[in-house]
Amino acid sequence: MNKTELVNAIAADAKLTKVQAKAALEATLAAITEALAKGDKVALIGFGTFAVNEKAARVGKNPATGAKINIPAKKVVKFKAGAELADKVK
C-alpha cells in the first residue's frame, strides 16, 4: 500500500474527503516526525512504538575491496509492533 492508497482507505473508513484524509495523514506523520526529532518516543497503544536509537561508531568492511572503513555513529528510528498488530499479522 502506498500513500495514495492509504489516503483513500482513511477517507473511506472515516467518511472524510480525500483532501481531509490526506491532511490528517500528513499532520499525523509530521507530529510523529517532530516528536522523534526531539528524541521523544511515540507509543500508539495496540499498534506499536516508534523510538530513536543511537548506533555506536564501528569499523566495517567494504564488500567490493575488503578494505576496512570507519562507520560513524548515527541515530536510527526503530519501530516495535504492539501486541494487537502482531496478532493480526500472524
Burial class of residue 21 (count of CB atoms within 10 Å of its CB; 0-12, 13-18, 19+):
buried
Global pTM reads 0.81
Helix orientation angle between 3-14 and 18-37, rounded to the nearest 10 degrees: 120
pLDDT band at 90 (very low <50, low <70, confident <90, very high): confident
Topology at the third CATH level for domain 41-90: HU Protein; Chain A (4.10.520)
pLDDT band at 62 (very low <50, low <70, confident <90, very high): very high
> Percent of the chain beyond pLDDT 70?
100
pLDDT band at 22 (very low <50, low <70, confident <90, very high): very high
Percentage helix, strand, coil for the chain under 3-state DSSP, each rounded to 5: 45, 30, 25
- The total of other beta-carbon atoms located within 10 Å of residue 7's CB is 20
- C-alpha pair distances (Å), 85 with each of 14, 20, 27, 48, 56: 20, 25, 22, 7, 30
